[in-house]
C-alpha cells in the first residue's frame, strides 16, 4: 500500500486515477470518439458516494500502482462526463425479474426489507448492474514530462481494457483547474503586455457542484473542490453572465470585479473598471453582501456617479452651460419628434444643429460657433435651467455689427442698449440677442420692400448674412416667435429635459470618468436613480468616448490601457437586431483589440446579437427557464449537456462555467461575495484601501 501511494504521488496520470479502492466505478464496454459507455454496479456507486448527473468520470487502461509497466498506447486518461443511463442487452430480462419479484410480495413486504430486498444474493447481485452513457471530453497525457489535455481522443480499442473511476478530492481539483503549458505560456505573455510583472495568480471562484441535490457529492464526508479562474482570461475578452433574476448574476459580477482589482493590486498596475449599474446593487450596500458593497470594500479606489444629487456620489449629469455640445446632443437624443407636442421648422432645425467646437484656426467657423453657443445658453436660461454661480455669456460686439445695428436703430428711432463688456449676465445677453433679432428681421423687411437681397445683417463676407439659418431658428426659439411673427412653443419644448442638467457639475463627466479609469479606479454609474432615459443616452455617450479613446491610441501605435466594462440588461444594448456599427455592438465585437474587456449580463441570451455571442470567450450561466433561451445556449461549447439541469435547477449561484483557459464547461457553486474576505486579502498584500498608484498625478 505504501508503494502504491508513492507511485501515485509521483505520476500525474496515476494521481488522477487515485486509490482504485475509493474511485473505481465500472468497466468501459463501448468507446467511441465522442461517447463512452460504462458498465457499473450499485455497489460501485455506493462505494464512491454516488455518481451524479453531469459528474466527471475517468477511463484508464493501466494499473495506477504499476504505471511503469503500462504499454505506451495505454498511458493516457480519458475524461468523461456522465450524461445518463445506457441500456444493456439483458435489461429486459432484469426488468421482468424485478416485476415478477414485486408481484410475489406478501402484504408484510410493502416496506423495504433487508439489503437484498427479499431477493437471493445471486439474483440481487445480477440486478445491480447497469449501463451509463458518457460524453468524451478529452484526454490527459504526458508530453515532455508535463501533463497535457487534448480535447478529443485519437484512438480507441474495440476490446477495451479500460476501467472507469470517479475523481474526487485532489484528483478532481487537478482536472478542473488544469491549464495546458502552451496556454499558460500565452497567458504569461499577455499578462506581461498588460503590465503585470508575472502571470496573475488564479482566483477561487467557487467549488464543484454537479446537481441541485447536493446531499452526497457535497456532503460532510466529501472535500469541496475549488474551481479557479485566471484573471487574465477577462482582460480584453468578452464575458457573458447569463441567468434569471435572483440566481446569482450580480454576485458573479462582483466576484469578477474583485478578482480583477486584486490581481491589479498584487502587480501594482492600473486596470480601470466601469460598471453600468442598472439596479444600484453594486454602488449600494445590501443584505446579500453582509451589508457591504463594491464601493465600501474598495474604499477610495471606487468612484460612484448618480443622475441625482446624492451625498458621496458624483453627478452623472452634464452641465449644459459649460458643455453646450453635450447638452444639445442629450436634448436631441431625448427629443422625439413623433411624440413631442411641440414642433415646427425652427425646432426641427434646432434639433439637427451641432455645437461641436471647430478648430480655432477656422476663424469664421469658430466665430459662428461662439454665437450659436451664446444663444443656446440664453435659451437654457429662458427655459429655467439653473446656471452656475456668477456665470456670464460671451456676446458678439464686433465693430461692423454695431455699425449696422446703430444705423438701423437711428433711422427707425429704436433705442439700442449695447452691452458694455464682451461677457455679460444671462438676462443682459438675452436682451442683446433679442435686439439683434429685431434689427435683423427689420433690415430683411426693408430689403424685401426695396427688392434687394434679403440677408439682414451682413457678415464680413460680402453677400452673406450675419444671422445664418441655424442662428435664426435659435433666436426664434429664444423669443418663441417665428420669423413671420407667429407664436410657437420655442424654449418651452426643452423644459422637460431639465432633470438631465446639473448646475453643480464642472467639466465633462465622460472626460472625468476616463481620468478615473486611467489611474485604475472602479467607477460605478448608478443608473437606478434619476430619469430612466439616462441609461441609454448618457451611458451610450460615455461608452462611445471610451471606445474612441482606446481605438485612437491603438491606431496611433500605442498600447491602450486595460479597461473592463460591465453592463446589466445587455439585451437592450446589443440585441439581435442591433446594427453592428453602433457603439455597444462595436465595443463587444471590436473592443478586445483596443484592450476593452466587455462583461455583459442578461437573462435573455436569445436576444443578444449572434455575432457577439459567437465571439464570447467566457461564460457564466445559472438558471434559464425556457427552451428558446436554452436552445440558443446549446449551440456553444458543451453547454448542450446541461440544458435539462439549467432549466430545473434554480439554486442561487449554481453556475456552469466556461472560461478562455478551460477546455470544457465546469459545473460550479459560485462563492458568495464576501467583503470581509476581500478586505483581509487586501491587507495581506499590504493595501488598506490605500490610494492608487499615480492618483495624485
Pair (470, 380) in one structural domain: yes
- Residues 436-448 have pLDDT tens digits of 999 999 999 998 8
User: Does residue 342 sit in the same domain as residue 461?
Assistant: yes
| Spatial contact of 582 and 615, defined as CB atoms under 8 Å apart | no
**pLDDT surpassing 80 at residue 234:** yes
Confidence of residue 690 (pLDDT cuts 50, 70, 90): very low
Domain total for the chain?
3
56: pLDDT confidence band, cut at 50, 70 and 90? Answer: very high
CATH value at residue 267: 3.40.50.300
Contact between 214 and 195 (Cβ < 8 Å): no
The answer to whether 500 touches 334, Cβ cutoff 8 Å, is yes
- Is the four-CA dihedral 364, 366, 370, 375 of positive or negative sign? positive
Last residue of a domain, one of 145, 178, 211: 178
Distances, alpha carbon 46 to alpha carbons 18, 94, 164, in Å: 17, 20, 15
Asked whether residue 24 falls in the same domain as residue 156, the answer is yes
Query: Is the residue at 665 inside a domain?
Result: yes
The whole-number average pLDDT for the span 100-106 is 83
Q: 363-382 and 469-479 are packed helices; what angle lies between their axes, rounded to 10 degrees? A: 20
Query: Per mean pLDDT, which range of 216-220, 341-345, 600-604 is the poorest?
Result: 341-345
- In order, the DSSP letters of 288-350 are GGTT--HHHHHGGGEEEEESS--TT-EE-SB-TTTSHHHHHHHHHHH--TTT-S---HHHHHH
662 domain residue, yes or no: yes
> Does residue 316 lie in a domain region?
no
For residues 101-121, average pLDDT: 80
pLDDT tens by residue, 240-264:
999 998 888 888 999 899 989 988 8
The pLDDT value recorded for residue 172 is: 96
642-663 average pLDDT score: 95
Kindly state whether residue 654 falls inside one of the protein's structural domains. yes
**Residues paired with residue 621 on neighbouring β-strands, in sequence order:** 242, 656
Q: Higher-confidence residue: 557 or 536?
A: 557
Query: Is residue 185 one of the residues assigned to a domain?
Result: no
Asked whether residue 155 falls in the same domain as residue 208, the answer is no
My answer on whether 164 and 243 are in the same domain is no
Confidence at residue 3, expressed as pLDDT on a 0 to 100 scale: 40
Confidence of residue 687 (pLDDT cuts 50, 70, 90): low
Across the range 451-470, mean pLDDT stands at 89
Dump strand ranges (E) for 527-606. 563-567, 596-602
| 155 and 209 part of one domain | no
Domain C-terminal end among 178, 211, 232: 178
Instruction: Tell me the pLDDT of the chain averaged across its residues.
Output: 89
C-alpha distances in Å from residue 603, one per residue of 210, 622, 636, 637: 22, 9, 16, 19
**Under a CB-based contact definition with an 8 Å cutoff, are residues 308 and 297 in contact?**
no
**8 Å CB contact between 395 and 425:** no
Whether 298 maps to a domain, the answer reads: no
Same domain as 484, residue 395: yes
Q: Taking the CA atoms of 689, 690, 694 and 697 in sequence, report the sign of the dihedral they define.
A: positive
- Of the ranges 79-83, 234-238, 332-336, 353-357, which is most confident? 79-83
What percent of the chain lies above the pLDDT cut of 90? 60
**Within a domain: residue 506?**
no
Q: Please indicate whether residue 506 or residue 665 has the higher confidence score (pLDDT).
A: 665
- Rg of the chain in Å (alpha carbons): 35
Residue 466 to residue 463: CA distance in whole angstroms: 10
Q: Are residues 156 and 220 in the same domain?
A: no
Look at residue 201 in the predicted model and tell me its pLDDT. 84
The verdict on 160 and 198 lying in the same domain is: no
On whether residue 611 sits in a domain, the answer given is: yes
Average confidence (pLDDT) over 641-669: 95
Length of the chain: 697
Q: What percent of the chain has pLDDT over 70?
A: 95
| CA-closest candidate to residue 530, choices 249, 330, 383 | 330
Mark whether 45 and 15 lie in a shared domain: yes
Sheet holding 618-621, edge to edge: 226-229, 203-208, 666-670, 654-658, 618-621, 238-242, 596-602, 563-567, 272-277, 522-526, 302-306, 314-315
* The 3-state secondary structure of 85-100, one letter per residue: EECCCCHHHHHHHHHH
pLDDT beyond 80 at 568: yes
Q: Answer yes or no: do 336 and 473 share one domain.
A: yes
Q: What is the pLDDT of residues 275-300, one digit of tens each?
A: 998 888 888 876 565 556 888 889 89
pLDDT value at residue 5:
42
The predicted-structure confidence for 64-99, as pLDDT tens digits, reads as follows 988 888 999 999 999 999 999 999 998 888 889 888
The residue-averaged pLDDT of 591-595 equals 92
Q: Which of 178, 212, 230 is the last residue of a domain?
A: 178
**9 pLDDT more than 60:** no
pLDDT in tens, 139-196: 999 999 899 999 999 988 877 789 999 999 999 999 999 999 999 998 888 888 878 8
Dihedral Cα 209, 210, 214, 216, nearest 10 deg:
-110
In this prediction, residues 581-608 reach a mean pLDDT of: 92
Please give the residue that has the higher pLDDT: either 475 or 234: 475
Residue range 416-431: average pLDDT?
A: 95
Q: Which of 230, 253, 298 is nearest to 681 (CA)?
A: 298
Same domain for 24 and 172, yes or no, is: yes
pLDDT of 205 reads 92
Expressed as residue numbers, the domain containing 42 is: 2-178
Amino acid at each position: 500500500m505504501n508503494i502504491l501511494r508513492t507511485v501515485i504521488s509521483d505520476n500525474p496520470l496515476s494521481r488522477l486515477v487515485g486509490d482504485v479502492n475509493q474511485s473505481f466505478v465500472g468497466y468501459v464496454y463501448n468507446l467511441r470518439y465522442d461517447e463512452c459507455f460504462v458498465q457499473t454496479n450499485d455497489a460501485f456507486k455506493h462505494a464512491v458516494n454516488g455518481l451524479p448527473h453531469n459528474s466527471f468520470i475517468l477511463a484508464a487502461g493501466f494499473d495506477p500502482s504499476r504505471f511503469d509497466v503500462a504499454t505506451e498506447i495505454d498511458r493516457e486518461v480519458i475524461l468523461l462526463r456522465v450524461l445518463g443511463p445506457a441500456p444493456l442487452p439483458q435489461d429486459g430480462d432484469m426488468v421482468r425479474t424485478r416485476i415478477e419479484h414485486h408481484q410475489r410480495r406478501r402484504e408484510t413486504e410493502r416496506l423495504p426489507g433487508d439489503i437484498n430486498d427479499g431477493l437471493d444474493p445471486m439474483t440481487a447481485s445480477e440486478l445491480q448492474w447497469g449501463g451509463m452513457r458518457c460524453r468524451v471530453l478529452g484526454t490527459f497525457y504526458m508530453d515532455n514530462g508535463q501533463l497535457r489535455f487534448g480535447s478529443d481522443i485519437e484512438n480507441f480499442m474495440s476490446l477495451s481494457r479500460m476501467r472507469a473511476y470517479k475523481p474526487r478530492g485532489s484528483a478532481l481539483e487537478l482536472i478542473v483547474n488544469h491549464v495546458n503549458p502552451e496556454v499558460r505560456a500565452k497567458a504569461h505573455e499577455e499578462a506581461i503586455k498588460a503590465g503585470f510583472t508575472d502571470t496573475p495568480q488564479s482566483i477561487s471562484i467557487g467549488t464543484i457542484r454537479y446537481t441541485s441535490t447536493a446531499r452526497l457529492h457535497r456532503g460532510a464526508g466529501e472535500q469541496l473542490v475549488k474551481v479557479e479562474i485566471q484573471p487574465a482570461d477577462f482582460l480584453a475578452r468578452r464575458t457573458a453572465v447569463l441567468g434569471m433574476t435572483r440566481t446569482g448574476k450580480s454576485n458573479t459580477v462582483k466576484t469578477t470585479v474583485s478578482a480583477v482589482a486584486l490581481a491589479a493590486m498584487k502587480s501594482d498596475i492600473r486596470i480601470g473598471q466601469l460598471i453600468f449599474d442598472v439596479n444600484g446593487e453594486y454602488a449600494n450596500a445590501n443584505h446579500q453582501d453582509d451589508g457591504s458593497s463594491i464601493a465600501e470594500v474598495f474604499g477610495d479606489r471606487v468612484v460612484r456617479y448618480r443622475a441625482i444629487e446624492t451625498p458621496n456620489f458624483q453627478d452623472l449629469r452634464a452641465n449644459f452651460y459649460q458643455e453646450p455640445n453635450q447638452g444639445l446632443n442629450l436634448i436631441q437624443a431625448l427629443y422625439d419628434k413623433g411624440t413631442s407636442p411641440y414642433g415646427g421648422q425652427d425646432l426641427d432645425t434646432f434639433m439637427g444643429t451641432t455645437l461641436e467646437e471647430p478648430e480655432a484656426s477656422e476663424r469664421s467657423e469658430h466665430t459662428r460657433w461662439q454665437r450659436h453657443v451664446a444663444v443656446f445658453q440664453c435659451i437654457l436660461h429662458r427655459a429655467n435651467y439653473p446656471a452656475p454661480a456668477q456665470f456670464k455669456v460671451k456676446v458678439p460686439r464686433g465693430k461692423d455689427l454695431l455699425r449696422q445695428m446703430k444705423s438701423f436703430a437711428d433711422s427707425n428711432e429704436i433705442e439700442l442698449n449695447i452691452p458694455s463688456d464682451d461677457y455679460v449676465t444671462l438676462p443682459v445677453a438675452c436682451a442683446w440677442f433679442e435686439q439683434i433679432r429685431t434689427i435683423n428681421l427689420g433690415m430683411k423687411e426693408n430689403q424685401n420692400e426695396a427688392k434687394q437681397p434679403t440677408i439682414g445683417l451682413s457678415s464680413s463676407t460680402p453677400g452673406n448674412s450675419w444671422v445664418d439659418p441655424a442662428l435664426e431658428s435659435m433666436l426664434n426659439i429664444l423669443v418663441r416667435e417665428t420669423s413671420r411673427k407667429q407664436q410657437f412653443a420655442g424654449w418651452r419644448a426643452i423644459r422637460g429635459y431639465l432633470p438631465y442638467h446639473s448646475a453643480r457639475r464642472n467639466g465633462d463627466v465622460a472626460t472625468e470618468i476616463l481620468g478615473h479609469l486611467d489611474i485604475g479606479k472602479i467607477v460605478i454609474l448608478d443608473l437606478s436613480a434619476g430619469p430612466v432615459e439616462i441609461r441609454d443616452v448618457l451611458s451610450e455617450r460615455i461608452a462611445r468616448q471610451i471606445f474612441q479613446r482606446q481605438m485612437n491610441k491603438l491606431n496611433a501605435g500605442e498600447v491602450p490601457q486595460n479597461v473592463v466594462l460591465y453592463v446589466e440588461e445587455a439585451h437592450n444594448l446589443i440585441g439581435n437586431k442591433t446594427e453592428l456599427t453602433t457603439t455597444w455592438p462595436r465595443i463587444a465585437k471590436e473592443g478586445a483589440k483596443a484592450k476593452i474587456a466587455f462583461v455583459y449580463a442578461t437573462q435573455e441570451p436569445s436576444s443578444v446579437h449572434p455575432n457577439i455571442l459567437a465571439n464570447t470567450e467566457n461564460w457564466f450561466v445559472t438558471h434559464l427557464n425556457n427552451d428558446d433561451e436554452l436552445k440558443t445556449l446549446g449551440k456553444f461549447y458543451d453547454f448542450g449537456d446541461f440544458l435539462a439541469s439549467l432549466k430545473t435547477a434554480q439554486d442561487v449561484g449554481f453556475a456552469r462555467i466556461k472560461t478562455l483557459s478551460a477546455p470544457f464547461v465546469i459545473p460550479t457553486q459560485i462563492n458568495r461575495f464576501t467583503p470581509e474576505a476581500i478586505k483581509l486579502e487586501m491587507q495581506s498584500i499590504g493595501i488598506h484601501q490605500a490610494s492608487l498608484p499615480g492618483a495624485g498625478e
